[in-house]
Amino acid sequence: MKPVLFFMFVMLTLPFMQGCSLSTSSVAEPQAVTLRHGVDTTAGGLAVFIIETPTATYYLDKKGGGLSSLIDADGNDWIGFAPTPGSGWQGEYRGFPNAVHKQDGNYFHPVNASTDLSSSHITHHSAKHVQITVDSGNKQWQAVWDFYPDRLDFTMAKVSQGYTYWVQYEGVPGGTLNDSDFYYNSAAPTRRNIQESFHGDLPSPEWYAFGDTQASSMLYLLHHTDDTAPDSYEGRPFMTVLGFGRQHKNKYLTTPSRFSLGFIRSHDYHTIKQKVTALSSPTP
């Protein structure tokens, strides 16, 4: 094309091209956190909030105020709750955080025969953050759930005066508790068999991570407060019993506190430690 004709072509088409140019700001950003209402069929048909993220899917029981299922990116359920009375460690005891037990009620547990009911409502909903607030039936306890693309934050926002609580993970790493399961914690960089117990105040930052040699991800749990309360882990025949602020059957947490959990695709202690240390650092 001759220079003059090419110049005229550019001048005539430039306005059209400018009007049709793609802008990154005009392209909708994919939603990283989605929220829908549903039923947890594997947990006895509980009515739940279903929160889907790139790393996990969470089933939060609307009336119990606790997680009934926790699904990793490969489809494994790391809780496996079932409400069948008498199932004990094989179902009805499982969940997260199972925080209030015979302490001014029984709250924040997926509904089983002894759970006292709570009310839940959505307090924030955006593409990268879903928040659900749960108030106990007696109005003396309040929990706030914050779901992000890479993790879940659970905050005990209100504590009934004069009472105590713990925060527990009672579940099944990788989908079933067996000899391929293991854990790390902040006390030492040693891989421990799933049946090995631990008792003592975890060093800061206080964290645990559970894994299965047959699963690609590990589940980490972090307590953001460095306290002096005892923490413990006990392996059961069918589930884990990790308790922040727990020793044997005693509860030691007395004030509001925040916890995080999430999956990380690594079995390496130092990689996990780096992740939880970054999370525990104060935000600027």
Specify the residue for token string 């991800």.
Answer: 217
Q: Is residue 27 part of a domain?
A: no
Q: Is residue 17 part of a domain?
A: no
Q: Is residue 1 part of a domain?
A: no
Nearest to 146 by CA among 214, 51, 79, 69: 51
CATH code, domain with 108? 2.70.98.10
Task: Dump pLDDT digits (tens) for 83-139.
Answer: 999 999 999 999 999 999 999 999 999 999 999 999 999 999 999 999 999 999 999
Nearest to 252 by CA among 184, 137, 168: 168
What per-residue confidence (pLDDT) applies to 281? 74
Q: Is residue 54 part of a domain?
A: yes
Write down the pTM of the prediction.
Answer: 0.88
Query: What's the structural domain count of the chain?
Result: 1
Q: Is residue 200 part of a domain?
A: yes
Q: Is residue 226 part of a domain?
A: yes
Task: Dump pLDDT digits (tens) for 241-266.
Answer: 999 999 989 999 999 999 999 999 99
Which domain covers residue 269, as residue numbers? 34-279
Q: Is residue 10 part of a domain?
A: no
Rounded to the nearest 10 degrees, how much is the dihedral formed by the CA atoms of 72, 73, 75, 80? Answer: 10
What are 128's two structure tokens?
Answer: 């990268």
Burial of 242: CB neighbours in 10 Å, binned 0-12, 13-18, 19+: buried
DSSP, collapsed to helix, strand or coil, labels residue 33 as: coil
Per-residue pLDDT in tens (0 to 9) along the chain, 284 residues? 444 344 334 344 444 334 433 333 334 455 699 999 999 999 999 999 999 999 999 999 999 999 999 999 999 999 999 999 999 999 999 999 999 999 999 999 999 999 999 999 999 999 999 999 999 999 999 999 999 999 999 999 999 999 999 999 999 999 999 999 999 999 999 999 999 999 999 999 999 999 999 999 999 999 999 999 999 999 888 999 999 999 989 999 999 999 999 999 999 999 999 999 999 976 53
**Starting from the edge strand earliest in sequence, which strands make up the sheet with 167-169, in order?**
167-169, 240-244, 231-235, 198-200
Q: Is residue 18 part of a domain?
A: no
DSSP string, 56-80: EEEEEETTT-SEEEEEETTS-BSS-
